[in-house]
Amino acid sequence: MAWQINWGRDPPAVPVPSQPAVAGADSWLLSNEGESSSGRQKSGLLLLQNTKGMDGRWMAGRITKIFITHLHGDHFFGLPGLLCTLSLQSSPDPNKPPVDIYGPLGLRSFLWRSLELSHSQLLFPYAVHELVPTRDQCPAEEFRDFSHLDRGEVPPQGPGGRILRLDPGEGSYLLEEDEQLVLRAFRLFHRVPSFGFVLEEKPRPGRLNVQKLKDLGVQPGPLYGKLKGGAAVVLENGVRISPCEVLEEPIPGRKVCILGDCSGAPGDEAPRLCRDADVLVHEATLDDTQQEKAREHGHSTPGMASGFARLCRAKRLVLTHFSQRYKPAGQAGEGDADVAELGRQAESVLGGQEVTLAEDFMTIEIPMKKGKTAALASPE
């Protein structure tokens, strides 16, 4: 099944399909069910599953996870409203798992107090998992220690969640992992601590070599499934067959990397974690002629973004978070610049490799990778 990344725009912005994804107004929505959805959260990453109804309309009530890149107001003030919207679209269900929310330290206190002050009652549980930043993620004078914020004040029925610290060995934060996927966060440098997120699909077993199995006397049946699942089998004649004898090379998984606002990243873990990404989403707030100004405000230019993409060997670069001064050629007014120039600047660094400029309601599909097909088959 395909993954989709969908760009949304939160109300009351007027939906204009050809409008560039401007700074402070874009949402990144990722579905691993081949479906899509939208929410009202600003510039956060939403990991969604099975989110479109039979009539094709978006169903925000299917959102299962929300990721906040950093604590600037235009990037997370919409979160309480989003949760209230989800609640309005939900039915009481005592068995419903919590909506998992990931973001920088201090997010739990903000969300709990916002819902308490507004007397908002959600029909579902939620958990806030806070990432503890390091001091080198922002200018020293901007760093705030929120480690003791509201500790002991949140009532027992308040939001749960984990405190996640940097793994010094991995240089990242392990958020979730199961048999198929691993989700990590990594540090970015901005005016306040910011984070990027990596969703990586684990390699799948290669296809079975049917001809080789037949040569070994194994006919299609349950044994195929066992071998595909990684278990050795013993035939009636006593011959033992290991999966490595009849499986082709593992099929690589997909990788999507989405960076929050940044002008760089501490250490060297970011390019390592994003290595060989199928899609890399990177901000490009200002054009290359204003790189000094961009860095001063903790942002990036197309040249900076494409330099990072080249370092990562990313297969596809998507630029987003443009200043509102950049417009499509037909919409540019006095003082505006052509947004296409941002793409040209990035492509020049990448040797002409095509760069995508994010637009409102744009969808990028990432199909499942396939293994070799000659004389191969899936288990019956």
3-state helix, strand, coil in the chain (%, to 5): 25, 30, 50
Task: Classify residue 286 by its DSSP letter.
Answer: S
Residue of 26, 55, 74, 167 with catalytic role: 74
Distance from first CA to last CA of the chain, Å, rounded?
A: 19
Phi, psi of 85 (to 5 degrees): -65, -45
Give the side-chain half-sphere CA count within 13 A for 169. 1
Whether 74 is a known active-site residue: answer yes
Tell me how far apart the alpha carbons of residues 60 and 6 are, in angstroms, rounded to a whole number.
13
- Spatial neighbors of 126 by CB under 8 A, at least 6 apart, are 83, 98, 99, 100, 101, 111, 159
Secondary structure string (H, E, C) spanning 7-38 = EEECCCCCCCCCCECECCCEEEEEECCCCCCC
Q: CB of 375 within 8 A of CB of 333? A: no
Give the side-chain half-sphere CA count within 13 A for 114. 16
Nearest alpha carbon to residue 263 among 193, 205, 311, 351: 193
Angstrom CA distances, 106 to 99, 110, 113, stand at 18, 6, 11
Dihedral angle over CA of 132, 137, 139, 143, nearest 10: 0
Count other C-beta atoms under 10 Å from residue 356's C-beta.
16
Q: CB of 6 within 8 A of CB of 258? A: no
Tell me how far apart the alpha carbons of residues 242 and 253 are, in angstroms, rounded to a whole number.
23
- Residues annotated catalytic, as ranges: 74
